[in-house]
Chains A and B, each alone.
Chain A
Amino acid sequence: MRGKAIKLGDDINTDLVIAGRYKFRSVTIEDMAKHIFEDLDPTLAARIKPGDIIVAGKNFGCGSSREQAPRVMVTAGISAVIAKSFARIFFRNSINVGLPAIAVDPTFIDSTSDGDILEINLKESTVKNVTKGLVTNFKPFPPQLMEIIEAGGLVPYVKKKGTLL
C-alpha cells in the first residue's frame, strides 16, 4: 500500500468521521461518504485521493459504534489508518470491513506530516515514510485477523471459508 498521509489529531471520534445526522438522511454508504470528516474540516473530503492513508493520534475512532465510519473511509478511497492507538469498537469494525487499522510508534506519527508519502507492508509489519526516510515496525496482526484483512473483510472471509465458524 502506498499513499499520501492525511494527518489528524487525537480522539477523532466516529461522529467526526461521519456525522450522525447523515446516517438518517442517506440510504447508501456512497451518499454518506460525500460528508466524510465534514465536522472536522469541511474541505477534507475533496482532498482525499484513492490510496490515501489516515495518520492519527491516540484513541482514533472513539465514540459511536457506527460501522459507517470505516465504511465511508473505504468508499472514499482511504487504504489504511495508522494511529498511536485505536478505540476498540472502531478497531474491530475496521478489520471487519477490510480497512487495515495499524497502531504504530507514537514518535513515527509525530514525525509524519500531512502530505508525506507512506508505504505500508502488512506482511513485513512495516510502515515507511518515503518523504522523510523513516521506517517503523508494528506488532504483527494475530494470524486470524491477518486472514480477515487479506480476504478484504469478514464477509469475503466467511464466503471464502464457506462457513461462519
Chain B
Amino acid sequence: MATAAEKMLAKASDTKRVDPGEFVVANVDFVFAHDGTAPLMIDVINEFQVKTLKLASKSALFIDHAAPSPSVQSSILHKKMREFAAKHGIRLFEAGEGICHQVVMDHGFAKPGNIVVGADSHTTIHGAVGAFAVGVGSTDAAFALASGKLWFKVPESIKITLKGKLAPGVLSKDIALALLKELGTDGANYMAIEYHDELSPKLSTSSRATISNLSAEMGAKAGVFPAEPFIPDNGANYIKEIDLDCSILEPLIAKPPLPSNVVPVSELEDMEVDEVFIGSCTNGRLEDLEIAARILKGKHVKEDVRCIVIPASKNVYIRALEKGIIETLAKAGCTIGPPTCGPCVGAHMGLLGPEEVAVSTANRNFTGRMGDPTAKIFLASPATAAATALEGRIADPRRYMEG
C-alpha cells in the first residue's frame, strides 16, 4: 500500500517499496536552475572538478528572475550562465522566454512519475502533471546535474481531497489560500501533499499548477496530483487527510507578511492600493490573463493605480496576443511586461516604494519581497487582482462575474 510519492521514489531508486523516514538515492529525470540560483550552482560544479555532467541532456538553465537584465551585476551572472551552458551543451532559455516553471510546463519537460529537481522553491508546481518535483538549493542542483542522482528522505504524505464546485469568481488560487490558512506556513513541512481532484468540473492543469506551486508555501516537499501509473493504493498511509468543500469558498486574500495570513476579500474591501501585479509562476498563465481581461474588458484601471501584467512565458504571451487578451488589458490601462518573474522577486519591473500597498497574484508577501520593507503585499487570485485594479481598492471579483 503506497502513496503516489512513495511509488515514484521507489521506482526512481530501483526498489519495490520505500517507507517514510527512509533515505533513498533517487535517479533524477530533469534538473534546472535560473539566474538566481544557477551562478552558485556553476561555482559548485566547478569545485566538484567533474569532467562530464551526467544530466546535461536532461537539464536546462533559465534567465528569468532578472530578465532582461536590470543591472551590470546581473548581466555578469547571465554571461556566466551562457558560457557554462555552451561549454556543457546545456539548453539555455534566454531572457524573454519566460519563467522557468512555465517554460518547463510549455515544453512538457516534467512528466508523470518523473523526479524533477529545480533550484527554485516553487518547483513543487510540476506536481500538477503528476511529477515528484522538489525545490532544492544550488549545491543539490549541482550534485544532481553532475551525478544524475540525489538523496531524499522519503516524506510522509498528506491527502487533500477537493470536493464540490467552485462559485463564479472563486479560482484555484482561493483553494490554495484556503489550504494555506488551514495548514499554515509549515503544516506540510518535509511532507508530500497528494491532491485528489473530485471537483465538478475538474481543475485544468493550469489551475492545478497554482495549487501545486503554493504547496511550497505550506512547507511541502512536493504537491502532487497523481497521474497514471503512479496512482496511490487504496489503504495507503497518510499522516493527515483533509477534505475541502470548495463550493463554500469565497475569494480570499493573504495579508502581509505571511501567505498563511488569509482572510476573505470582503473583510478588506476598503484598503486602497497603489499597484496590482498579475503574473508570476503562480498565476501568470493564459487562463489567469483571460479572467483578468474578462473583468477589465471595456473598462479602465483606476486612476493612480499601476496595473502590471506579465505573461509567465513567451508561449503564454503569444497565445494571449492571438486571443486579443493583451489588447484588452492594454486598452484597459494595464502595463504589459515581457515574460519574467518581474516584481515578485524584487529584482525589477514595478518595485514598491515606502508604505505602498500592492495586490499581487504571486506567492509571497514577505517583508521587502517586492521592494521597500515598509510596503505591504496582499496575495490574491487574478480575478480579485483585476477587480482591485478597476476599483483602486481591494475588491471582491464576484460582482464582475455575472453572466
Q: Which residues of A contact B146 (CB under 8 A)?
A: 164
State A15–B49 Cα separation when bound (angstroms).
31
Closest to A97 in B: B139
Q: Which residues of B contact A102 (CB under 8 A)?
A: none
Closest to A11 in B: B185
A67, A85, A142: residue with the most chain B Cβ atoms closer than 10 Å: A67
Interface mask (A9-41 → B, CB under 8 Å = 1, otherwise 0):
001010110011101111100000000001110
Q: Which size bracket describes the interface of B in this complex? A: 35 or more
State A138–B312 Cα separation when bound (angstroms).
44
Q: Which of B66-74, B301-309, B379-387 contacts A (4 or more CB under 8 A)?
A: B66-74
State A164–B147 Cα separation when bound (angstroms).
7
* CB-based A-B contact count at 8 angstroms: 138
State A59–B366 Cα separation when bound (angstroms).
14
Q: Which of B40-48, B245-253, B324-332 contacts A (4 or more CB under 8 A)?
A: B40-48
Q: How far is the CB of A23 from chain B (nearest CB, A)?
A: 5
* CB–CB B137/A65 < 8 A: yes
Q: Which residues of B contact A23 (CB under 8 A)?
A: 36, 65, 345, 347
Given A20-B346, A154-B139, also A39-B119 (CB < 8 A):
no
B25 at the interface (CB under 8 A from A): yes
B376 at the interface (CB under 8 A from A): no
* CB–CB A62/B147 < 8 A: no
Q: Which of A44-52, A74-82, A88-96, A118-126 contacts B (4 or more CB under 8 A)?
A: A88-96
B244 at the interface (CB under 8 A from A): no
* CB–CB B139/A155 < 8 A: yes
State which of A24, A27, A85 has its C-beta within 8 Å of the C-beta of B70.
A24
Q: Which residues of B contact A25 (CB under 8 A)?
A: 71, 73-74
B89 at the interface (CB under 8 A from A): no
State A25–B25 Cα separation when bound (angstroms).
36
Q: Which residues of A contact B258 (CB under 8 A)?
A: 11
* CB–CB B47/A65 < 8 A: no
State which of A65, A71, A85, A97 has its C-beta within 8 Å of the C-beta of B135.
A65
* CB–CB B143/A164 < 8 A: yes
State which of B37, B119, B139, B346 has its C-beta within 8 Å of the C-beta of A21.
B346
Binding site for A on B (CB under 8 A): 23, 25, 35-37, 40, 44, 47-50, 65-66, 70-71, 73-74, 76-77, 119-121, 123, 135-140, 143, 146-147, 149, 151, 185-186, 189-190, 217, 219, 221, 258, 345-348, 351, 364, 366-369, 371, 373
What are 17 A-B pairs with beta-carbon distances under 8 A? A15-B369, A16-B366, A16-B367, A16-B368, A21-B368, A63-B217, A63-B366, A64-B36, A66-B37, A88-B189, A93-B136, A96-B137, A96-B139, A97-B139, A154-B44, A155-B47, A159-B48
